[in-house]
Amino acid sequence: MPLAAKRTALGSRRHPRFMSARVRVLLCVTGGIAAYKVVEVARSLSELGCDVTVVMTRSAELFVGRQTFASVTGREVVTEIFADSGEVAHVELARTTDLVVLAPATAHTLSRLAIGAADDLLSATLLMVRSPLLIVPAMHTEMWEHPATQANCALLSARGARFLGPASGPLLSGDSGAGRMVEPSEVVNAALDLLKAPSELAGLRVLVTAGGTQEPIDPVRFIGNRSSGLMGFALASEAARRGAKVTLVVGDTSLRPPSGVDLMQVRTAEDMRTAVLEAASDADVIVKAAAVADFRPSRAATKKLKKAAGAPSVELVPTPDILKELGHNPRLRKAGSLLVGFAAETESDPQELARLAADKRTSKGADLLVANDVSSSDSGFGARTNRAVIAGPEGSVDAGLVTKTNLAEAVMDEVVRLLKGRADA
């Protein structure tokens, strides 16, 4: 998605992309008042030429009748795992779809998805499906903001699901706040973007670092940081989605890395340097989203330090600055490769972030530098969203506060733009 892109509502004309091959979309509807908005999503996607199959939960049927969806899609709505014909619906549905849209996604459904439940048609299908998944949450603000829901979303994002919304605005309860389902036209546009399966990075190798390093003090203690790995995983997934062969160098994380990438697991800054330099020589793009410790204990005790011995003094020495080394020593990289750094800044003002990003871009010798604000709970370490500015050779772009998936898209858009500029030059 281009930065700051705001699409207008789609017209009802047939989308040229779908003139020849029909695309299959599975629209999973769960029980929330916003289910009525999804009728419009089903109608638009059908009119654009997609084969839309609607799966509803029992509670979704309390809000919209299945006949409504059947009428706008021209296809029977499925609700039961075992049909009279003897077919097992979830297996067939999961294997034959190009895209799954889950809308509205209730807090309950997100939690079931996160634990891998499979006790109705919708959950069983989602557990089997391997095509892209677009999740469109809608719920009360308190439910959305609850740490359980946020943790479920982070887990699902890390597994590769795309989130759209929720928006802020009036809610069913009469309150106003975050939790409102985004408008149907936005869901349709996001679905079309995912169906496009861009191949701009096909044939290229992308190296991404994610997570934090751990610098041991003794066998059980270390200097570390709060990086979850989510930002790096989103970047790796996005590069893979665009056709790149991705190597992911991962430090400490409790999340499962995305599938379909080559994984190199490391612990310390020194380990990360070794892994990165090994993979850098044939990488076309290097993205350094890992939070690398700047200092490590000069020596790690071989045995656990005993409390009875009193507080130890730990001498710190600098770790190698991997980004800077890559930025200032072109021989370590493939000719013409692109270097993207990140900067963790405790700064929320976009202008100040832009200034810091530009400074760090120069000092580290990077082509692009993404400065993200790590001063608030909705941005930076461990958050599902991120507030960032991307500095490049021609200035900077304010990506605003967006999901890490969206920020990854914006970063990869800039990467593709720069690569294209170099190829055209």
Is there binding between residue 270 and ligand PMT (CB under 6 A)?
no
Distance CA 58, CA 5 (A): 36
Among 127, 314, 344, 401, binds ligand PMT (CB under 6 A): 344
CB of 341 to ligand PMT, least distance (A): 4
For ligand PMT, the closer of residues 38 and 353 by Cβ is 353
Contact positions with ligand PMT (CB under 6 A) in 302-321: 319, 321
Is there binding between residue 99 and ligand PMT (CB under 6 A)?
no
Q: Among all residues, which ones are annotated catalytic? A: 225
Is there binding between residue 359 and ligand PMT (CB under 6 A)?
no
CB of 282 to ligand PMT, least distance (A): 19
CB of 27 to ligand PMT, least distance (A): 30
Is there binding between residue 150 and ligand PMT (CB under 6 A)?
no
Name 286's bridge partners.
207, 339
* Segment near ligand PMT (CB under 6 A); pick from 134-142, 178-186, 277-285, 290-298: 290-298
Among 290, 338, 353, 397, binds ligand PMT (CB under 6 A): 290
Is there binding between residue 381 and ligand PMT (CB under 6 A)?
yes
Is there binding between residue 403 and ligand PMT (CB under 6 A)?
no
* Segment near ligand PMT (CB under 6 A); pick from 10-18, 57-65, 155-163, 286-294: 286-294
Chain Cα centroid distance, residue 185: 21
CB of 342 to ligand PMT, least distance (A): 4
* Segment near ligand PMT (CB under 6 A); pick from 66-74, 165-173, 226-234, 237-245: 226-234
Distance CA 208, CA 22 (A): 34
* Segment near ligand PMT (CB under 6 A); pick from 5-13, 42-50, 167-175, 285-293: 285-293
Is there binding between residue 249 and ligand PMT (CB under 6 A)?
no
Is there binding between residue 291 and ligand PMT (CB under 6 A)?
yes
Is there binding between residue 39 and ligand PMT (CB under 6 A)?
no
Is there binding between residue 163 and ligand PMT (CB under 6 A)?
no
**Binding footprint of ligand PMT on the chain (CB under 6 A):** 227-231, 269, 288-292, 294, 319, 321-323, 341-344, 372, 374, 380-382
